[in-house]
Amino acid sequence: MRWRRAATSQRTIWRLVLAITLSLLLPGVGGGVFASGARFADSWSSPALRTPIVPFPNGAAATLVLGQPNFLSRLTGVNAQTIGYLDYGVGFDAEGNLWVADWNDNRVLEFSPPFANGEPASIVIGQSDFSSTQPQIGATGLSNPFGVAFDTRGDLWVPDYSNNRILEYIPPFHNDMAAALVLGQPGFSSESPAASPAGLAGPCGITFDASGDLWVADYLNNRVVEFLPPFVDGESASVVFGQKDFMSGAAGAGARGLHWPQTVAFDPLQNLWVSDFGNNRVVEFSPPFRSDPSAAGVVGQAGFETNRSGSGPSGLSGPFAAAFDGWGKLWVADTGNNRVLSFPPPIRTGASAAGVIGQGSFSTNQSGTGASGLAMPADVAFDPLGDLWVLDQGNGRVLEFLPSSTSGGPASSIVWILITAVAIGIGVTVGAAVALSVWRSRDPRAPSSKSARLDPQPGRA
């Protein structure tokens, strides 16, 4: 895998030690890895152990920038090192490569680790080279791609907004490659919007559920639709949210309506969350899913009856994106307030955020630049190490934020000294036990535990 192997090993081991130590001492911290035998038994590679157990501090500074050579630059132009100023989607594949849907330049870019400030993209899809920007139709063209998602096979899926379709690309990926499958259109040569079971109108965010079903935020149809595998060109959706049927597309509110849904995301319990941009909220739908359901919860509003733009810890203004980290924490790109908010579980209607990125506090919402400022953030994603990446749309860049456990953030020094001491103590104890066991197994003079139990005087001849 092309990933930061040395950094991965060092940081993952450190986080794992901290996770185990905290879980032993404070079962409520980080979800309590040992609080549930089922969770611990799931897998050592579980996202819960890869994501940060220490929160990102409010107003945290980014550690790396892509799309710009440094944190203060605002370069324009089209090449392998720049991304547009109206981009909306980022995501990671299983190998840790970062993919950016470059809406403005009608292309999708891949950036390969180890990442460095201002590094050039390694692959471009939708254009023949890194300097072209022409919107196109067909199997190799794109017109305002909105986002990216990967299925369990590693195939890349792209919502092609202005062509009113979803495209699938099968690896190995390479420049100017052709898509293998299309949804929303009967074939690669058509682009007409439609409100129908098989049609789409301005598809935005997409995601897959645990069963491999594809969910699409169908923006201009004010709905979310589900497609079932095995996928075929032009197939019909099976479920619709936000509308009473597949032929309707009017904007709505309340518990059953949607107004310009932007992205979709699943929490660890497979509840579906939709960033409902036009209603200034993120809404939750609980399974089992059926068409035209009522939402079960809402964030950004006190209830389903209101949809006003807001600020502070519980308000939202035109949220573009919602995503979850490995601990089940909800992250929202609160675009109109120039910030990213985090909501720890359990997340209830009208919940207040616990963390903010892009602002120093919940009381400000000014556009900013530099390492700690944001201007209309459009998307959030987590890499395989649990680092937070934010698509900073207004500044034409993607930023990486490290959790305070690895970036030296303002976590209490005393707490971390104690944690480190306990972790070392656990390591020494385990190591001594292993060494003693090995010595006993190899030294014939060492009494076995069995003989010690059977002989009341093991030292007698």
Give how far the C-alpha of residue 342 lies from the chain's centroid of Cα atoms, to the nearest Å.
12
Taken in order 422, 423, 424, 425, the sign of the CA dihedral is positive
> How confident is the model at residue 240, as a pLDDT?
98
Task: State pLDDT tens for residues 108-142.
Answer: 999 999 999 999 999 999 999 999 999 999 999 99
Q: What is the pLDDT of residues 402-412, one digit of tens each?
A: 997 544 433 33
Which residues are registered as beta bridge partners of 206?
A: 216
- 321: pLDDT strictly greater than 70: yes
For 24, other C-beta atoms within 10 Å of its C-beta total 14
- 350, 303 Cβ separation under 8 angstroms: yes
- Burial of 153: CB neighbours in 10 Å, binned 0-12, 13-18, 19+: exposed
**Could you tell me which of 209, 260, 279, 262 has the C-alpha nearest to residue 239?**
209
Quick check: helix, strand or coil at residue 393? helix
* Gap between the Cα atoms of 381 and 361, Å rounded: 22
**What pLDDT, in 10s, does the model give residues 242-263?**
999 999 999 999 999 999 999 9
pLDDT at 86: 87
In the chain, where the domains are located: 1-50, 55-404, 412-461
The confidence score (pLDDT) of residue 364 equals: 98
Residue corresponding to tokens 């530099």: 370
Q: What are residue 274's DSSP bridge partners?
A: 264, 283
Tokens of 62: 């980014």
Confidence of residue 66 (pLDDT cuts 50, 70, 90): very high
Residue 296: per-residue pLDDT: 98
Please give the C-alpha separations between residue 52 and each of 17, 32, 40, 83, 410, in angstroms, as whole numbers.
Answer: 12, 13, 16, 28, 15
Determine the pLDDT at residue 32. 29
pLDDT value at residue 266: 98
Q: What value does the mean pLDDT take over residues 214-238?
A: 98
Query: What's the confidence (pLDDT) of residue 418?
Result: 47
CA-closest candidate to residue 114, choices 371, 400, 404: 400
- Whose tokens are 């440094």? That residue is 70
The predicted-structure confidence for 356-375, as pLDDT tens digits, reads as follows 999 999 999 999 999 999 99
pLDDT digits (tens, 9 = 90+) for 10-43: 444 444 444 444 444 433 333 322 222 222 223 3
Question: What pLDDT is recorded for position 49?
Answer: 37
What is the pLDDT at residue 441?
Answer: 56
Flag whether pLDDT at 46 surpasses 70.
no
Tokens of 459: 């030292």
Query: Residue 182's beta-bridge partner residues?
Result: 167
Q: For residues 166 and 160, what is the distance between their CA atoms, to the nearest angstrom? A: 6
| The total number of residues written for the chain in this structure | 461
pLDDT (mean) for 260-281:
98
**377-419: pLDDT as tens digits:** 999 999 999 999 999 999 999 999 999 754 443 333 334 344 4
- Extract the runs of DSSP E, i.e. beta strands, from 112-184: 123-125, 149-150, 156-160, 165-169, 181-183
pLDDT at 300 exceeding the cut of 70? yes
Q: Does domain 55-404 have CATH number 2.120.10.30?
A: yes
pTM for the model stands at 0.81
